[in-house]
Amino acid sequence: MLLLTLLLCLPLALWTVGLISDGWIPQGDDAILAIKTHDVFGTHPPLVGMRSTSAMLNPGVDAHHPGPMEFYLLAIPYAITGWQPWGLLAGCLIVACAFVAITIHSAYRAGRWYGVAIAAVILLATERFFTELLVHPVNLWPPVLAMIATLMLGWRLLLWQTRSLPLFVVCASFAAQAHIVFLPVVGALALMLSIIGVIRWQGARESIWPVPGYQPRNQPPIWRRPGWIATALVALCWWPALIDTLTFSPTNVGQLAKLGGAGPGQHTVGIVDAFKNYTRLATPIRQDVTINVATSVFWLQIVLVGAALLLCAWSARHLGQLVRRPSRAKDALAAASVIALTCALPLLWTGARTVGALRMLYLDILMPVALFATAVATWAALDLIKQRTRTPARTGLILAAAGCIVAVLIPTSLIQRLPSGGSTPDIARARTATTYVSSALEDTSDNRPIIVTGTGPITFASVGPAISAELIGNSREVYFDSFWPHKQDDDFRRTSHAPANAIHIDLREQTNGTWSGTAPTAADTTKTYATTIDRKPAQIQVIIRDH
């Protein structure tokens, strides 16, 4: 298993090295995340996750993603490397490899080699589908691997392997906090496991949880019991969100509760389109993002996915026995089927309540959830073949079927690295600006605070955050503004709090021959460079006003 884990981590390492060698720096949302990660060790640690796009679909609803756990985990490697951009990528790699290791180990403990095969196929398909995005820090990507680990740990818990409970809490919290799309799936899985846990508690202790009831005489100390450890970890993982709930108004919890469904004059896509999208995720052989229902291949995929869900339901038919006293040897497939169905239902529900087909692309990060159901159904089908076939050809048939699946899912990205984010115009544009600003400021011993202002959409959302992250990493006191209309945990960085003697870095952009913002004066230090915006020629101007 160690060799398999290393092989699955190899592409992650190669992508990380590629990004670093290409000169990757955080810009846009990556830069905002870098700033929040830096602030973990400051006097204003982050209390909520990244800002969401909720207001675009639900006017008046301004929700952050549920929690800041990703910032706290990345803060240690980021700080150890002296707040260098590559430290952020190294932290993402460490976290990603940890989730891969947890996935493989937990899959083996739950389903032995069948479980390992399922986990490996899902990880391979995920690496093929997302490639180097899996080692980017922005909050869309790290929880993808965390979700796979959560599925495997939930599988173990359903088989009454309670030692996996602390790790389940950590992985599930990470996925649920990083991006709101994971919250319904993780919530449904946690609710199902909690209900079964309460039933088992009552059966084993003859009392209703949390009343202790009957306990074995040789109980381990509290600090070694999985339940108590998990309770402590829940408090540790979620205390920032709790503080935010008690401190800010409106609370992020209240804003999140308003999400889901259409706003005034809007319509959700419905269950039919949600199932079509689920089919695309459950059989990710076709890599395009459009759903062409006119093709016979797609209808075949729909039939196969429907059959897969029915196979999972058939395999989970002995749920009562599974709840009372599960056996790994007999009930591993049934437990996996229950996990698959429990997670598939909220995925379909989330898709059905999505506004617009384009927004449904966010559900792509839940692809491993749909793939898990497909993989479990494949196991169930092979098990049926095994039971019905009594000839020597049985083994060859099973191996051939498994080989075909693996052959389809082996990622070409393991052989040839795709073009990295370091070569994109956004990265190159931001890198030019940050290099100039750092060079211009290091020639002076002046350590005054700095105000960074972007006057156009690109300079405000991409270049400006990149400069701010670079300067904050260099221990400068930086202030910048936000479109966010409510009080939040980084309000101390608003320009209204900056001292009067602060240095101003103003960013302008020229598109279609028109400049944004105020033109520089003769006393300003200015750099203008050519770039592209939306594939059209443009210019960026960096103005340092120190007077």
Rg (CA), the chain: 25
Is 291 within 8 Å of 276 (Cβ atoms)? yes
Give one word for 60, left, alpha or beta, with left for phi > 0 and alpha for psi -120 to 50: left
Domains of the chain, residue spans: 2-414, 424-545
Strand pairing partners for 531? Answer: 538
Write the pLDDT tens digit of every residue in 97-149. Answer: 999 999 999 999 999 999 999 999 999 989 988 989 999 999 999 999 999 99
Beta-bridged to residue 445, according to DSSP, are none
Q: Which residue ranges of the chain lie beneath pLDDT 50? A: 286-294, 409-423
Provide the token pair at 288: 């395009």
CB 25 within 8 Å of CB 464:
no
Within 10 angstroms of residue 194's Cβ, the number of other Cβ atoms is 12
As a dihedral over the C-alpha atoms of residue 151, residue 155, residue 158, residue 163, rounded to 10 degrees, the angle is -90
pLDDT at residue 406 in the model: 55
Read off the tokens for 426: 């956004």
How far out from the chain centre does Cα 163 lie?
25
Taking the C-alpha atoms of residue 382 and residue 267, their distance in angstroms, rounded to an integer, is: 41
**121/409 Cα distance (integer angstroms):** 7
Of 181, 269, 194, give the one whose Cα is nearest residue 231: 194
How far does CA 268 lie from the centroid of its chain?
A: 24
Which pLDDT value is given to residue 287?
44
Three-state secondary-structure class, residue 538: strand
What is the pLDDT, as a whole number, of residue 374? 92
With a CB cutoff of 8 Å and minimum separation 6, the contacts of 82 are: 473
Q: What are phi and psi of 66, to 5 degrees?
A: -55, -35
The amino acid at 113 = W
For residues 109 and 73, give the distance between their C-alpha atoms in angstroms, rounded to a whole number.
Answer: 26
Cα angle 459, 461, 464 (rounded to 5 degrees) comes to 50
Residue 527 in 3-state DSSP?
Answer: strand
**Amino acid in the structure at residue 154:** G
